[in-house]
């Protein structure tokens, strides 16, 4: 063989990276990239070969099978693809049902046409049974005698064809006999259709009547609940005023019993109203971006006194997260979790915390209470259901709280999880989407107990069109040491204030003559040229009311007002 010339040797050395430094620098990246591409392509074809649903093989017309994929091995009843690498002799005797003659016929067709498509045959499996298959065979270009084959199992199709032929034969025999039967059945069917039309009309009438009654019930329930919440609000405030005064033991017991009765009625009405609105799909989420401490701080402030009164320790762990949610609806869920934890924990502690799980934040409420048996975890989300309550006197609440939670979570598209260990406690959690980080640094979310009470001596304006609520609210606030100014409308408020701005405004949302409290608050802020903090109190739970409060930038307290929550909100705004 002739020796390459010097120029050829230098070119070859440069191409292979054996030349000078500049040549290697020029060709190495190209060779490396090409090798990577070839390796990736080889791996892709290898993956497709090994994971294909149909059988794939490569065979030589001279030597027999060279390669087979796992799918072909499984078709033939073998565990290892290596077991089906038959020689030409084995192919004729062990695989093709037609033996050597069929193999020769296939070879002849491939030699003539270079391919064989849609070829149906029968193959022998390892256990001696037969397998109907459809094969596509191709002679690989540039490699003489190398065949690539693709095999599909058509056993079910063959069986279906045979069964269809049997059915067709039977059908021809039965057509004549069934004709008379069908005529008779048709007459009966016409009679049944007429009867069913009558039944369908009756069912439609009953359904329309039920839907009308249900809508009327929902409207009545909403109206009745709203109207009953007004006097309950006044009664709750008066009872709370009496509870905080020194009374003789007998009178104190009566006041406590009255308080418990009102609390039960209030919880039932509030929950029924919420259930009604949720079932009517009247609640639409208003998703926005909030800091986690905006959610946790009011809850901790509200439930710390509740936990202290029950002899429990409430702790919160807050991270620097921003969440994308409807703050009002999510607060309702966590408030229910915390309320249940305080109710059903006899001793120990309660923890409110958050854990990140990928793109979601799991908000958790842990307690050290009595726990729930595993087989009863789903039952707690049913309406009017409370576990392990034997007597009516032992019931706490009305059993609607978690039913409301389940509906709100469904509206928001959040996942609720409950884990419990009987005798040790429970954890209720809900997963919330994590939003973009807020621009400002997240501050301490949980307010620490203040050194003193910020309420005594503070001048507050109470605005409500119900005189009974004005009187009861004024009595409670004065008992807390506040200087209270009351009014039923904007003009009365300006007259009562006598040119001196209040430090905080407590306003009802709906006043007389279609005036809303938000408008009066804005007018008073403009009149006194001061950003007077305000709290809106209302029994209205509509989205329109909520949007108006968001524009005003004022917190909402629903009637009947819980004195503990009222005091927590006032302390936070004035502190």
The pLDDT, as a whole number, for residue 398 is 45
Is the omega angle on the peptide bond into residue 196 within 30 degrees of 0, that is, cis?
Answer: no
Token couple for 380: 């707690």
Specify the 3-state DSSP secondary structure of 82: helix
Q: Could you tell me the pLDDT band of residue 572, with boundaries at 50, 70 and 90?
A: confident
Specify the 3-state DSSP secondary structure of 399: coil
**What DSSP assignment string belongs to 277-306?**
HHHTT------EEEEHHHHHHHHHHHHHHH
Nearest to 132 by CA among 92, 161, 164, 91: 161
φ/ψ of residue 43, rounded to 5: -65, -35
The pLDDT, as a whole number, for residue 38 is 79
- With 0-12 CB in 10 A as exposed, 13-18 as middle and 19+ as buried, what is 402? buried
Angle at Cα 6 formed by Cα 4 and Cα 10, nearest 5°?
100
pLDDT at 7 > cutoff 80: no
The pLDDT, as a whole number, for residue 298 is 82
Interatomic CA distance for residues 575 and 454, integer angstroms: 6
Interatomic CA distance for residues 114 and 107, integer angstroms: 10
φ/ψ of residue 246, rounded to 5: -70, 120
- With 0-12 CB in 10 A as exposed, 13-18 as middle and 19+ as buried, what is 527? middle
Angle at Cα 208 formed by Cα 205 and Cα 210, nearest 5°?
110
pLDDT tens profile 271-303? 666 666 666 665 677 788 888 888 888 888 878
User: Do the Cβ atoms of 574 and 454 come closer than 8 Å?
Assistant: yes
Q: For the chain, what are the domain ranges?
A: 6-49, 52-153, 285-445+453-574
The pLDDT, as a whole number, for residue 506 is 92
Termini Cα distance of the chain: 100
Specify the 3-state DSSP secondary structure of 371: coil
Nearest to 117 by CA among 150, 76, 71, 145: 150
Angle at Cα 181 formed by Cα 175 and Cα 185, nearest 5°?
130
The pLDDT, as a whole number, for residue 448 is 42
pLDDT at 445 > cutoff 60: no
Nearest to 317 by CA among 355, 352, 360, 349: 352
The pLDDT, as a whole number, for residue 390 is 40
Residue 562 C-beta-side C-alpha neighbours within 13 Å: 15
The pLDDT, as a whole number, for residue 217 is 64
- Across the range 99-119, mean pLDDT stands at 86
Q: Could you tell me the pLDDT band of residue 6, with boundaries at 50, 70 and 90?
A: low
pLDDT at 446 > cutoff 60: no
pLDDT at 461 > cutoff 80: yes
**What DSSP assignment string belongs to 336-365?**
HHHHHHHHS--SEEEEEEEEEETTEEEEEE
Average pLDDT, the chain: 79
- Across the range 190-207, mean pLDDT stands at 88
Interatomic CA distance for residues 35 and 45, integer angstroms: 15
**What DSSP assignment string belongs to 498-561?**
TT---SEEEEESB-GGG-BHHHHHHHHHHHHTS---EEEEES---HHHHHHHHHHT--EEESSP
Helix (H) or strand (E) holding 446: none
pTM, full prediction: 0.44
pLDDT at 441 > cutoff 80: no
pLDDT tens profile 74-90? 888 898 888 888 888 78
CATH fold, domain 285-445+453-574, is Heat Shock Protein 90 (3.30.565)
Q: Identify which of 321-335, 391-405, 487-501 has the greatest average pLDDT.
A: 487-501
pLDDT at 69 > cutoff 60: yes
Per the model's pLDDT, the better-predicted residue between 264 and 372 turns out to be 372
The pLDDT, as a whole number, for residue 123 is 87
The pLDDT, as a whole number, for residue 255 is 74
pLDDT tens profile 368-393? 888 887 777 766 665 545 555 443 44
Note whether 52-153 and 285-445+453-574 share their fold: no
User: Do the Cβ atoms of 173 and 179 come closer than 8 Å?
Assistant: no
| Cα 351 to Cα 124, 179, 309, 512, 549, distances in angstroms | 68, 75, 16, 44, 30
User: Do the Cβ atoms of 323 and 292 come closer than 8 Å?
Assistant: yes
Top-level CATH class of 52-153? alpha beta
pLDDT tens profile 468-479? 888 888 888 988
Q: Could you tell me the pLDDT band of residue 535, with boundaries at 50, 70 and 90?
A: very high
Helix (H) or strand (E) holding 26: helix 21-51
Per the model's pLDDT, the better-predicted residue between 404 and 572 turns out to be 572
Per the model's pLDDT, the better-predicted residue between 405 and 477 turns out to be 477
- Residue linked to tokens 């032992």: 394
User: Do the Cβ atoms of 327 and 287 come closer than 8 Å?
Assistant: no
Angle at Cα 65 formed by Cα 64 and Cα 67, nearest 5°?
155
Helix (H) or strand (E) holding 137: strand 130-139
């Amino acid at each position: 063989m002739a020796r390459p010339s010097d120029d050829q040797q230098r070119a070859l050395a440069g191409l292979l990276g054996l030349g000078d430094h500049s040549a290697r620098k020029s060709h190495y990246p190209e060779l490396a990239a090409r090798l990577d591409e070839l390796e990736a392509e080889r791996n892709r074809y290898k993956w497709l070969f090994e994971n294909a649903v149909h059988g794939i093989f490569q065979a030589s017309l001279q030597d027999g099978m060279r390669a087979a994929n796992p799918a072909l091995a499984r078709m033939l009843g073998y565990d290892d693809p290596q077991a089906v690498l038959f020689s030409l002799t084995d192919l004729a005797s062990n695989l093709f049902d037609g033996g050597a003659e069929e193999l020769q016929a296939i070879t002849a067709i491939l030699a003539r046409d270079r391919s064989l498509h849609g070829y149906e045959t029968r193959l022998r499996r390892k256990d001696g049974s037969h397998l109907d298959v459809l094969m596509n065979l191709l002679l690989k270009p540039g490699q003489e005698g190398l065949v690539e084959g693709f095999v599909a199992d058509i056993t079910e199709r063959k069986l279906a064809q045979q069964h269809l032929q049997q059915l067709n034969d039977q059908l021809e025999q039965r057509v004549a006999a069934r004709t008379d039967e069908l005529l008779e059945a048709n007459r009966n069917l016409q009679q049944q259709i007429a009867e069913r039309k009558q039944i369908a009309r009756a069912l439609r009438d009953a359904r329309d009547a039920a839907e009308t009654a249900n809508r009327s019930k929902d409207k009545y329930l909403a109206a009745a609940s709203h109207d009953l919440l007004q006097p309950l609000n006044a009664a709750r405030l008066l009872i709370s005023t009496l509870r905080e005064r020194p009374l003789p033991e007998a009178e104190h017991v009566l006041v406590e019993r009255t308080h418990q009765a009102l609390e039960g009625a209030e919880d039932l009405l509030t929950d029924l109203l919420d259930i009604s609105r949720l079932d009517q799909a009247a609640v639409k989420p208003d998703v926005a971006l909030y800091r986690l401490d905006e959610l946790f701080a009011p809850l901790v402030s509200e439930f710390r006194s509740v936990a202290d009164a029950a002899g429990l320790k409430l702790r919160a762990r807050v991270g620097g997260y921003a969440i994308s949610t409807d703050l009002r609806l999510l607060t309702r869920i966590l408030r229910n979790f915390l309320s249940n934890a305080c109710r059903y924990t006899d001793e120990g502690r309660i923890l409110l915390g958050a854990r990140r799980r990928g793109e979601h934040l799991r908000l958790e409420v842990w307690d050290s209470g009595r726990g729930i048996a595993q087989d009863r975890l789903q039952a707690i989300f049913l309406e009017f259901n409370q576990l392990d309550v034997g007597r009516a006197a032992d019931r706490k609440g009305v059993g609607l709280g978690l039913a409301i939670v389940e509906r709100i979570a469904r509206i928001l598209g959040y996942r609720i999880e409950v884990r419990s260990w009987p005798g040790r406690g429970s954890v209720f959690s809900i997963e919330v989407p994590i939003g973009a980080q807020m621009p400002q640094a997240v501050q301490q979310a949980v307010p620490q107990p203040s050194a003193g009470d910020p309420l005594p001596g503070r001048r507050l304006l109470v605005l409500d069109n119900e005189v009974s609520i004005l009187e009861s609210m004024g009595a409670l606030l004065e008992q807390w040491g506040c200087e209270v100014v009351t009014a039923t409308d904007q003009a009365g408020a300006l007259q009562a204030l006598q040119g001196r701005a209040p430090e905080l405004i407590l306003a009802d949302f709906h006043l007389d003559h279609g005036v809303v409290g938000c408008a009066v608050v804005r007018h008073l802020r403009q009149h006194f040229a001061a950003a007077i903090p305000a709290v809106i109190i209302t029994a209205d739970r509509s989205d329109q009311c909520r949007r108006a409060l968001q524009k005003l930038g004022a917190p909402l307290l629903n009637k009947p007002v819980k004195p503990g929550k009222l005091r927590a909100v006032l302390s936070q705004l004035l502190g």
